[in-house]
Amino acid sequence: MLLTDTVLRTIRRYRLLPRGGRVLCALSGGADSVALLHILLALQERGELVLAGAAHFNHGLRGADADADEQFCRELSAAFALRFEAGRGNVAERARAEKRSIEDMARTARYEFLTDAAACLSADVIAVAHTRDDQAETFLLRLIRGAGTRGLGAIRPRAGRVIRPLIDLRRETLRSYARRRGLAHREDATNADVGIPRNRVRHELLPYLEREFSSGIVEVLAREAASAQEDEDRLTAEAIELVASVVLTSTPVTIDAEALGRLHPALAARVAREALRRAAGGRFVGFDHIRRFLEFVREARDGSALSLPGQQAVREGSRVVFRPEPPRPRRGVSKELGSVGP
Amino acid sequence: MLLTDTVLRTIRRYRLLPRGGRVLCALSGGADSVALLHILLALQERGELVLAGAAHFNHGLRGADADADEQFCRELSAAFALRFEAGRGNVAERARAEKRSIEDMARTARYEFLTDAAACLSADVIAVAHTRDDQAETFLLRLIRGAGTRGLGAIRPRAGRVIRPLIDLRRETLRSYARRRGLAHREDATNADVGIPRNRVRHELLPYLEREFSSGIVEVLAREAASAQEDEDRLTAEAIELVASVVLTSTPVTIDAEALGRLHPALAARVAREALRRAAGGRFVGFDHIRRFLEFVREARDGSALSLPGQQAVREGSRVVFRPEPPRPRRGVSKELGSVGP
């Protein structure tokens, strides 16, 4: 099967785009995103979609190299007479200010920019170049970090306006497509830096698992990521329906401790996550917060309090009420609690 | 906290045993099970339980070494005036006959024997020596093999009559308890054989993850195994309630294809697993069978058939009916589909 046909099948299978829809191509300049651009061009040729343009985000993290990447993307877009949007952000500074990891902040800033660029270019969706290998890597990273409550889910083929038409392709298939066509692209030197956990997963852990345990490990992990995502979706939907019976009031967030205690643990964890998020005002709520909160709900005596992101939970009779935290030196969220995203 | 107190807390936390209950200690002769025996003796001393005896299963796989293990266990039990049951099985032969992996067959034969021994010694429960490290190893093995539908669940603290009072302990804690007390034990040479996947996980993969990614990896994986188990329990319970609305008749097993197709994918997979198991007559039903079956239910035309373990599924109008497989050379179940257990 032609690579473009495989991609088209992915687009149809996950309903990523109606026929003739307008697509913005996220372009880093790396091999995967350059290949994505060419695949989208081929699909445009066949009348399957309209390529609304390309967009490149300069994270401001790699100086002259990053500027050259931007220039490369600009010229590549011009070569195909595509509209081009470039964005810039000082990710390092913002990460410090918001106390988030660089990777996490870079992802947020990038997707914010892409959303704006899509609006600018009247694109219906934003195509990004994640492959099945990215799926497996993200799954392993999340597994190792223990991030999120049930953080083992997959990179979704579609998340809001972001679509991933290459998610059923192996990276090697994509790269050999690029090689056969002699597509020029930029090398991001940091991709080889095994000081970065994702690169260690890519260049060391996955090849080791492939060699020593299972030649099909990427397929296996991608499949497990998809299963985990389905389970997560189902249980979260169920939990959200239950929130109303457990969260008694919203300001302040007040919880019926007994009702929460009666829930199946799989649902209690998700209802608690939802309640904590509502009370956390945008702060990160991790697995460990939820675990400590559920212990508190089970065991705390009247009047006792538990410190949580941006708030404290106070036991008041059969209820737990979220109150502003009293002023005192705050403990930072430990590094393991950071989120891992594509 | 004393190690015996930690174990007692585990026993209470998971309600493994009522106070004064009769426990059979599964004794391989290795360091972990010898330590378990001593912990159970200490708890008997404190009046928490009654040690009904010890039982050792000789898998017949390691010749004279295995005989010496059995003798060691017999003498150790005698030294504490404990009743002792020994069992033997030709696991290799039975594995060949039943076309199962040696590890899988050894586990089945061992638990069969232990169940009989417990009845013999009027024990309420059978204590086995799995630690949190075994939990993490099993989780990783299942993950890598992609076995089972949603095969990421945990080793349960309790499964039927089998209890795991050491499941909250790290192996190193247990071993240092054994060393401090100078407890004699047997070394199983095959534990060092990294040709066996479980040993590769234990001696290579986990130490690598611990060193390169997260010093708390065992805790993280054990926690994720427990979460996955809770999710699995909840979704399976929900699916089992739905089976009646999808499985129309039992002989032959007949499925309402539309009703199955309407279910959330997380539930459809589990309802399908249940239906396939009912029709499979004890044969192993793996992830891949379920995936192919669901595809068949979605897409098959009237009259077409799909070969499954011990049966074939035939599309008949809006129904799928399980029929005996027509006589022909049967394909074996691929090796990846084997189950991984503690």
The answer for B164, left when phi > 0, alpha when psi is -120 to 50, beta otherwise, is beta
CB-nearest partner of A217 from B144, B216, B217: B144
- pLDDT at residue B51 in the model: 98
Residue B303: how many other CB atoms lie within 10 Å = 9
The DSSP code sequence of A5-55 is HHHHHHHHHTT---TTEEEEEE--SSHHHHHHHHHHHHHHHTTSEEEEEEE
Is B228 near chain A, with CB under 8 Å? yes
Is B200 near chain A, with CB under 8 Å? yes
Verify whether the Cβ–Cβ distance B213 to A197 is below 8 Å.
yes
CB-nearest partner of A212 from B145, B200, B217: B200
Query: How far, in Å, CA of A297 to CA of A289, rounded?
Result: 12
Q: Which two tokens stand for residue A196?
A: 């970065």
Verify whether the Cβ–Cβ distance A266 to B230 is below 8 Å.
yes
Cα-based torsion angle of the residue sequence B183, B184, B189, B193 in order, rounded to the nearest 10 degrees: 10
CB-nearest partner of B143 from A197, A224, A235: A224
- pLDDT at residue B333 in the model: 43
CB-nearest partner of B227 from A150, A212, A230: A150
Verify whether the Cβ–Cβ distance B146 to A230 is below 8 Å.
no
- pLDDT at residue B150 in the model: 61
- pLDDT at residue A176 in the model: 96
DSSP H helices in B46-190: 63-79, 91-98, 102-120, 132-145, 171-180
Question: In this prediction, what percent of chain A has a pLDDT beyond 70?
Answer: 94
CA within 13 Å, CB half, A231: 32
Distance of CA A315 to the CA centre of its chain: 34
- pLDDT at residue A151 in the model: 62
CA distance to partner chain B, nearest, from residue A31 (Å): 27
A212 vs B contacts (CB less than 8 Å): 200, 204-205
Q: Regarding predicted confidence, which is higher, B337 or A152?
A: A152
CA distance to partner chain B, nearest, from residue A121 (Å): 36
Cα-based torsion angle of the residue sequence B212, B214, B219, B224 in order, rounded to the nearest 10 degrees: -90
pLDDT-based confidence at residue A61 (cuts at 50, 70, 90) = confident
List average pLDDT for each run of 10 residues in chain B, which is 342 residues long: 93 94 97 98 97 94 88 98 94 86 87 96 98 94 74 84 97 96 91 88 96 93 88 92 90 92 94 87 79 90 89 92 75 48 71
Is A150 near chain B, with CB under 8 Å? yes
The residues in A 32-91 lying below 8 A from B, measured between CB atoms, are none
Which tens digits make up the pLDDT trace of A285-335?
A: 778 888 899 999 988 899 999 998 778 999 999 999 999 877 655 554 444
Verify whether the Cβ–Cβ distance A266 to B336 is below 8 Å.
no
Which tens digits make up the pLDDT trace of A155-167?
A: 899 999 999 999 9
Whole-model pTM: value is: 0.86
